Amino acid sequence: MESDFPILSALIVTPALGALVVMAMPARRPECVRLAGYVFSFAVLALAGWLLFHYEAGSGYQFVEREQWLGDLGVQYKVGVDGISLFMVALNALLFPIALFASANITERTKSFFAWMLALEAALMGVFLSLDLIVFFVFFEFVLVPMYFLILGWGHGRRTYAALKFFIFTMAGSAFLLVGVLVLAFLHSDHTGKLTFDLATLTAWAPEGLDPGAAKALFLGFFAAFAVKVPLFPLHTWLPDAHTEAPTAGSVILAGMLLKMGVYGFLRFSLPLFPQAAVDLAPLLLVLATIGIIYGAIVAAMQPNVKRIVAYSSVAHMGFAVLGIFALTTQGLDGGVFTMISHGLTTSALFLLLGMLYDRRHSYEVDAYRGLWKVMPVLGGLFCVAAFASIGLPGFSGFIGEFLALIGTFIVEKPYAVVGAIGVVFAAVYLLWVFQRTFMGRPTGENAKMKDIGFRELACVVPLLALSLFLGIWPKPVLDVIEPDVKEVIQQVERGSDYREPAPAFEDAPSGHDDGGHE
């Protein structure tokens, strides 16, 4: 293997090239389009596999590539990967072939569908690999376009409304991000006379160079963009609509990757650039995350539409990720990143399974289904596994992530951890209800005639659940890669603020004899 092979650029360019190739193909030959889509997405998966294999844990950004782009404007093309982005890239590379593979029911305008999907994959790769703020912003924005057209072109019922709402929310958030990026760079150039958007340069300067008020304002600007994407309460209302109306592949990518952009943004940009502001405003995020955990779970419990239930459950799950990250402890950040990976696997699996039900009966209403386990034992079994994986049953990845996030939160803010633990229980409520009402009981009418899962469908779902199980049983390899870079983030925060990571123990334990120590 050549060490100077531009692997990261290849990860971005390959799907983009795929999109162009697909576009150049004749629309009359959907089978060729499909083949090209599979080939390119699997090629990306292979590249990501190579990257995973050759990545060395604990040595900062790797495979960094750097090219001057718009030199006068200080914009450069700079990409790199560390332990946090590595798994986002891997998840992205995994989910796209699966999502394409699960889209056999897309028969209208197949070509555009595949082109948009590959373009989306390229944009998402760019988001997770960019180390220049402008390039990041461009990719971050570009993600919206394919997603908008995917919902609009191949969605269900109220897709126009959902697509537009999705666009309004995210665009509004991004506007603040752009302004934030520009202001940050201009302030930097005022001080140093050098206009740059390089993340490393700005990270080295911003914590000292910005005055506290400006840092806080900029943090809030970035916050607006990322919080919408997560989504944090109360900016979450676009998510249920977008999920409900999106086609299956769209939902998989939306839940699996798009939501991660927000949490990733907090980790990669907000914390290192504005450490003091992050520390000062962390209570706000912890409160919003905790509200999201409980609120998402409760609202999910009353939804008649299965996709909305899973959508609201995402609000709760991502609440855990944000809770862990803004606890600002190693365990919390580990847990947050792990929850992102885990949520990508389990929620995608749930959406794929729901898509299979929709393919057969064209309904997402809970009441339309009953007793499906009788006629589809394998699909029922897999749904049961996916539900328990999503609930965070020990043995699945969700448990590790949520438990670590809770431990990390408990170190600094005990009440939030307690409320979060209650949320863990709530999570079981709605998914088990869904499972009971759709899969248990006696099937009647059309439900009695449904076909069990096919080979292609099995091939989509099983890898995700198997990975979730594997990471639940043996999380060490992933945690060992994440942790050095998580520690680096915390050190950046410590360097730039008065915050010091507390040890995982009660403040005055075990030697103190006075009561207290428990809030």
Partner 1 sequence: MLDYAWIIPALPAVSFFVIMFFGKRAPKHGAEIGIAAVGASFLLSCVAVVEWINRVEDATGGESHGLVALGKSIFAAGGAEHGVAPVVHTLTWWTSGGTEFGVGTTVDGLTVMMMFVVTLISLLVQIYSTAYMHDDRRYTWFFACLSLFTASMLTLVVSENLLQLLVGWELVGLCSFMLIGHWWEDRANSRAAIKAFLTTRVGDIGLMIGVIIMFFAAGTFSIVGINEYALGGEAQHSLLMFGALCLFIGIIGKSGQFPLHTWLPDAMAGPTPVSALIHAATMVVAGVYLGARVYPVLYEGFNIHDGGANFMAIIGGVTILIGALLAFVQRDIKRVLAYSTISQLGYMVMALGVGAWTAAVFHLFTHAFFKALLFLGAGSVSHSGSHHSFDMKSDMGGLRKHMPVTFATFMIGSLALAGIFPLAGFWSKDEILATAGESGFDAFVVVGLIGAVLTAAYMTRCVYLTFFGEYRGHGHPHESPRAITVPLIILSVFSVLAGFANAVPLGIHKFTEWFEPTFAFPHLVHAEFDYSLAIISVAIALVGIGIAASLWFRKEELGPFAGLTKRNALAGRGYTFLENKYYLDFLYENVIVDGIRGGVARAYYWFDQNVIDAVVKGVGRGAARAGRFAYDALDQRVVDGSINAIAAGTGEAGGAVRTVQSGRVQRYALLLFASVGVMALAVFLANVD
Residue 80 CB coordination number (10 Å): 18
Q: Residue 298 Cβ, how far from partner 1 at the closest point, in Å? A: 5
425 binds partner 1 (CB under 8 A): yes
First to last CA, the chain: 55
301 binds partner 1 (CB under 8 A): yes
35 binds partner 1 (CB under 8 A): no
Cβ closest to partner 1, residue 91 vs residue 115? 115
Two tokens, residue 399: 């448990």
C-alpha separations of 389 from 174, 233, 341, 428, 479 in Å = 33, 24, 13, 10, 19
Q: Which of 166, 176, 222, 364 binds partner 1 (CB under 8 A)?
A: 176
* Cis geometry, peptide bond prior to residue 510 (ω within 30 degrees of 0): yes
Residue 411 CB coordination number (10 Å): 20
Q: Which of 371, 397, 468, 493 binds partner 1 (CB under 8 A)?
A: 371
Site string for partner 1, 226-245 (x = CB under 8 A): --------x--x--x-----
444 binds partner 1 (CB under 8 A): no
Whether 125 and 41 have beta carbons less than 8 Å apart is answered as no
Q: Which of 11, 100, 115, 288 binds partner 1 (CB under 8 A)?
A: 115
168 binds partner 1 (CB under 8 A): yes
Cβ closest to partner 1, residue 283 vs residue 504? 504
Q: Residue 501 Cβ, how far from partner 1 at the closest point, in Å? A: 8
Binders of partner 1 in range 465-494 (CB under 8 A): 474-476, 479-480, 483
Q: Which of 436, 451, 459, 491 binds partner 1 (CB under 8 A)?
A: 436
Q: Residue 505 Cβ, how far from partner 1 at the closest point, in Å? A: 6
Cα–Cα nearest to 236, from 302, 327, 169, 190: 169
Cα–Cα nearest to 45, from 66, 67, 18, 63: 18
Cα–Cα nearest to 240, from 170, 310, 144: 310
Whether 346 and 313 have beta carbons less than 8 Å apart is answered as no
**Distance of alpha carbon 258 from alpha carbon 407, whole angstroms:** 26
Q: Residue 5 Cβ, how far from partner 1 at the closest point, in Å? A: 31
- DSSP E strands in 50-181: the ranges are 62-70, 75-81
AA identity, residue 51: L
Q: Is 128 left (phi over 0), alpha (psi -120 to 50) or beta?
A: alpha
Cβ closest to partner 1, residue 10 vs residue 301? 301
Cβ closest to partner 1, residue 49 vs residue 394? 394
Q: Which of 190, 284, 394, 446 binds partner 1 (CB under 8 A)?
A: 394
Q: Residue 213 Cβ, how far from partner 1 at the closest point, in Å? A: 5
58 binds partner 1 (CB under 8 A): no
